[in-house]
Structure 1
Amino acid sequence: MRTDATSGAAKRGKSFVHVAEASWGKGLSTLLRIVRMTLRHPWQVAITIVSTFIAATLQLFIPRLLGRAIDQAQGVLTAGAGPAAEHALWNTALTLLVVSILRGLFTMAQNYYGEAVGHRTGYELRLAFYEKIQRLSFSFHDRVHTGDLITLGLLDLDGVRMF
């Protein structure tokens, strides 16, 4: 025997049936569609990818430079090698500073252009979503709570934008 609470939950559950039907087995094709939408901005995507690789490469140089600086500092302190070893230590320190600044700049470029592509793709998806909602029949809007649909859609769009 059903109570009013369980029948109310069953009615509310029916409004989310479209979510389960729309997402069943569509994972890879959805990701491919998102990638195609992102590639509408080829320069920004290229800058993002190149900046990511350069920042990662510069990040890999930092431990090597720190190791060299430690070795040179030990040589200066123990052997008293003189001004040449001290000069080499200063060169390593300046190189480390320059590499760190460049890594920061390329990371900033990667974040900026990645966010720009994400926002533009999200904007295009939001426009397509609203257009689709406006073209649905009145009977669809009678069956489904449009507010729930918009909330779910915007949450999905935000997740896609972050991808």
Structure 2
Amino acid sequence: MIIKKLRLRLTKFRRYWQHYVFQSLAATVALFALMMIINIQEKPVIIASIGATTFIVFTMPGYLTAKPRNVIGGHIIGMLCGFLASAAIMILENPPTIPMAMILSLAVGLSIFAMVVLDMEHPPASGTALGVALHGISVTVTLTILVSILFLSLVHKLFRHRLRDLT
């Protein structure tokens, strides 16, 4: 069974290897350009979810989760849920481990709930909720997220005719 699946993957790779190479390089260049625009040293927790979004946009461009509506909407939802959690953490002034873990978990759970209800599912955006909750509310975090999601959505839109689903 495993060998059969591996053969199928290799056959698909041989047939579409140009897409695999192009899309991997395009993702690398897009993320590099994005990192040159934003200051990643200040926001390593936030950029991790953007890396996951880059994967989805470039390897699964036809999937619902890669659509600009979901990328932008999902990350905005995640950001807002993270801001709520961050505000709760600030109000409690460095809560002990259990309440802190509950607040962070609620940020992720609330982001999942809101994305599903609003039909803007984008899994990496729950990572944004967690990252924002940990990092705190700031203009730089907000701008980093907004610039990142708008940039990746624009790249997706511009290159959609060149991208194919690789999964």
Task: Give 1 or 2 for the bigger CA radius of gyration.
Answer: 1
TM > 0.5 between the two? no
TM-score by length of 2: 0.31
TM-score by length of 1: 0.31
Higher RCO by CA contacts (8 Å cutoff, separation 6 or greater): 2
